[in-house]
Structure 1
Amino acid sequence: KAVVVISIFLQSSNEKCNSLQGWMGFFMKSMCVPEKAIKVLAHAGLLISLSSIHNAVTSMSKEISSTIRKEVRTLHAAFVYDNFDIAFNTA
């Protein structure tokens, strides 16, 4: 509890001090929490804003895709497709 309270105080005094709120916002978005709930939690100071979450996801996607492109060009990476499903029909 103390970490959350301190993090809220730090974010309210400095917008760049929002690491905990950023990770929590990213987690909430990845768990498909409704946007209205994210907005309420952001207003309470527990998360970063919804637009900041979208910007972070976009930024991370661009960074990861450029890293993947770089690895493919060097041929130092192997990619595996893992979608092997077998249906055993039983009587």
Structure 2
Amino acid sequence: MFAIIETGGKQYRVEEGLELKVDLLKIEAGEKLDIDSVLLVDKDGDTKIGAPFIEGAKVECEVLGHSRGKKVVVFHKLPKKDARKTQGHRQDYTSIKVKSITA
């Protein structure tokens, strides 16, 4: 059984027991999270597709913690002008573990 959920403007394919990193959520580590924006649920070939979401479907998750991604360096250089600009970015993530999928 798997489901496709939407969180943080992105879509993820999840199964029970899967650990994944999503964009930062304002929830403390160890708390329970219910995601109601379920787009698709497939159970042994029986597929339910929402328009846009499935009524009554939810994915129960546990928040494992928060972390930051690797640093990405953005470097701009204007040729023939001797102008340079360096900027860094680290994305914040929340690690979650899928406990159950109900449709």
Q: Same fold (TM over 0.5)?
A: no
Higher RCO, 1 vs 2 (CA within 8 Å, ≥6 residues apart): 2
* Higher-strand-fraction structure: 2
